[in-house]
Amino acid sequence: MPTINVQLFEGRTVEQKRAFVKAVTEATVATLGSSAESVDIIIEDVKRENWSTGGKLWSDV
């Protein structure tokens, strides 16, 4: 059973998340041959102030 963990900046709508998990599930089924019912996706919403790239917080960009 694949479990996929995804971290995103907060602010996506439920509709966007719904479309995302549908597409990722379909891609997982197609590439790994698993059933859709066995695919778990965990989405973590992260505040920009808690994410850094290149030594800079995204909230400062």
Tell me the CATH class for 3-60.
alpha beta
pTM reported for the whole predicted model: 0.89
Per annotation, catalytic residue among 1, 2, 3, 30: 2
The answer to whether the beta carbons of residues 7 and 48 sit under 8 Å apart is: no
Domain ranges of the chain: 3-60
pLDDT, tens only, 14-50? 999 999 999 999 999 999 999 999 999 999 999 999 9
Is residue 2 among the annotated active site residues? yes
pLDDT, tens only, 12-21? 999 999 999 9
Residue 4's contacts (CB-CB under 8 Å, 6 or more residues apart) are 24, 28, 39, 40, 41, 42
